[in-house]
Amino acid sequence: MKNANLIWIVKLTAVIILMQTLFFKFTGAPESVYIFQTLGIEPIGRIGSGIVELVASILILIPRTTLLGALLALGTMIGAIFSHIFTLGIEVKNDGGVLFTLAILTSICCLILVYNQKSKISDLLKLKI
């Protein structure tokens, strides 16, 4: 019972972080535009990553698809972390490193979810499309 509650806290933490950034991406907030312009992928990258994060959030909340959502979000967060390290810098537009920290925290949550769902990885690999 305790483990199930902890997993839901981890899921909600990841989803809340992912969802709160969607507002900024989808409304074209100056910080988001700046990030994706700096990366050279504005507006497609901003909107595309927002859609991926929205899909990942939904998948994380559905017990049958949590593993898939966590992997999708983890891939997105790894991209964000590398973008911070190699292009943007840890601190973006005087945010004190908040966006970088949120990407790290979301990645940790997704890693916990993947670890928790590790027994389902072989099932995911057997998907027939």
Distance of CA 126 to the CA centre of its chain: 24
Sign, Cα dihedral of 81, 87, 89, 92: negative
d(C-alpha 20, C-alpha 67), whole Å: 21
Q: CA-CA distances (angstroms) from residue 57 to 5, 20, 62, 112? A: 18, 11, 9, 15
Whether the Cβ atoms of residue 84 and residue 92 lie closer than 8 Å to each other: yes
Q: Over the stretch 56-115, which tens digit does the pLDDT of each residue have? A: 999 999 999 999 999 999 999 999 999 999 999 999 999 999 999 999 999 999 999 999
**What pTM value is reported for the model?**
0.91
